[in-house]
């Protein structure tokens, strides 16, 4: 599979996943899920809050709900702006949960 074909496949797979889930998630859960265009994307809760305009406390709750259901997974850590490690979350790499 060429890189172009793989990229197109990933975009198609991600678009299908998001289209199928529109009626499954609450509006705030969907807002969080929309920040993950591909299975390669990983973000901290702070980054999700900034991108969505949601309060951090709301993002934390929605991320926990989505992780509990397997729709988001732990993708490692990175240092935040104050040097504190923050968890990265993203879509499962093996496909939609």
The confidence score (pLDDT) of residue 5 equals 45
Q: Which domains does the chain have, with CATH numbers?
A: 3-90 (1.10.10.10)
CB–CB of 60/46 below 8 Å?
A: no
The Cα–Cα gap between 89 and 91 comes to 7
The pLDDT profile of the chain, 97 residues, written as one tens digit per residue, is 444 444 555 666 666 655 554 568 999 999 999 999 888 899 999 999 999 999 999 999 999 999 999 999 999 999 988 899 999 999 998 744 4
Alpha helices in the chain (DSSP H): 3-21, 27-33, 45-52, 56-68
With H, G, I as helix, E, B as strand and everything else as coil, classify residue 28.
helix
Structure token digits, residue 24: 């499954």
The confidence score (pLDDT) of residue 85 equals 96
Does the predicted TM-score (pTM) go above 0.75? Answer: no
The confidence score (pLDDT) of residue 12 equals 63
């Amino acid at each position: 599979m060429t890189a172009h074909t793989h990229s197109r496949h990933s975009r198609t797979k991600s678009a299908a996943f998001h289209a199928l889930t529109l009626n499954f998630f609450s509006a705030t859960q969907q807002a969080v899920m929309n920040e993950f265009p591909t299975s390669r994307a990983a973000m901290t809760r702070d980054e999700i809050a900034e991108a969505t305009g949601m309060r951090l406390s709301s993002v934390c709750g929605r991320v926990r709900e989505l992780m509990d259901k397997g729709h988001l997974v732990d993708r490692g850590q990175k240092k935040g702006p104050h040097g504190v490690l923050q968890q990265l979350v993203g879509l499962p790499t093996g496909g939609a949960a």
